[in-house]
Amino acid sequence: MRHRKSNRSAMIDFLLISSIITLTAIIIITISITGQFKFQKTTVAATANPNVEIPSLIDITDSSFPGIEIVTETSINSLVPYTLHYPKTPFDSVNEQIKTYINDSRYNYITALHNRNEKNKVKTIGNLNITSEIHEYNDQFYSIVLKNESSLNRLTYEESFNTIVFHKDTGNIVHPRELLNDDVGHLDVLAKAVRAELLRYYNSSLNEGNLANATSPRWEKFSRFAIIDNSIVFYFNQGEVAVKDVGSPTVTLPISYLNPILASVFQSEEKSEVTIVTPKENKKKVALTFDDGPHPKVTMQILNTLEKYDAKATFFMLGKQVEKHTDIAKEVVSRGHEIGNHTYNHPELTKQSTSQVQWQVDHTDQIIFDVIGEYPTVFRPPYGAKNQHVDSLIDVPVIMWTIDTYDWKHRDPNKLLPAVKANLHDGAIILMHDIHQSTADGLESVLIYLQQEGYEFVTVSELLAEQN
Query: What residues make contact with Ni ion under the rule CB under 5 A?
Result: 291-292, 382
Q: Which residue is nearest to Ni ion (CB)?
A: 291
Question: Distance between CA atoms of 75 and 57, rounded to whole angstroms?
Answer: 6
Helix (H, G, I), strand (E, B) or coil at 33: helix
- One of 85, 114, 186, 291 is an active-site residue; which one? 291
Question: Distance between CA atoms of 83 and 164, rounded to whole angstroms?
Answer: 20
Confirm if 167 and 140 have CB atoms less than 8 A apart: yes
Catalytic site includes residue 229: no
- One of 325, 337, 342, 433 is an active-site residue; which one? 433
Give least dist CB 400 to Ni ion, A: 12
Give least dist CB 413 to Ni ion, A: 20
Which of 315, 267, 301, 316 shows the shortest CA–CA distance to 444? Answer: 301
- Residues, the chain: 468
Question: Distance between CA atoms of 465 and 93, rounded to whole angstroms?
Answer: 46
Looking at the Cβ atoms of 87 and 382, the one nearer to Ni ion is 382
Confirm if 45 and 80 have CB atoms less than 8 A apart: no
Looking at the Cβ atoms of 69 and 404, the one nearer to Ni ion is 404
At residue 287's C-alpha, the angle toward residues 283 and 389, to 5°, is 130
Give least dist CB 318 to Ni ion, A: 7
Question: Distance between CA atoms of 377 and 321, rounded to whole angstroms?
Answer: 18
Looking at the Cβ atoms of 136 and 348, the one nearer to Ni ion is 348
Question: Distance between CA atoms of 356 and 315, rounded to whole angstroms?
Answer: 23
Looking at the Cβ atoms of 238 and 343, the one nearer to Ni ion is 343
Looking at the Cβ atoms of 376 and 382, the one nearer to Ni ion is 382
Give least dist CB 450 to Ni ion, A: 22
Give least dist CB 346 to Ni ion, A: 6
Catalytic site includes residue 433: yes
Cβ within 8 Å of residue 105, ≥6 positions away: 84, 128, 130, 148, 150
Kindly state the DSSP code that residue 215 receives in the 8-state scheme. Answer: T
Positions marked active-site:
291, 433
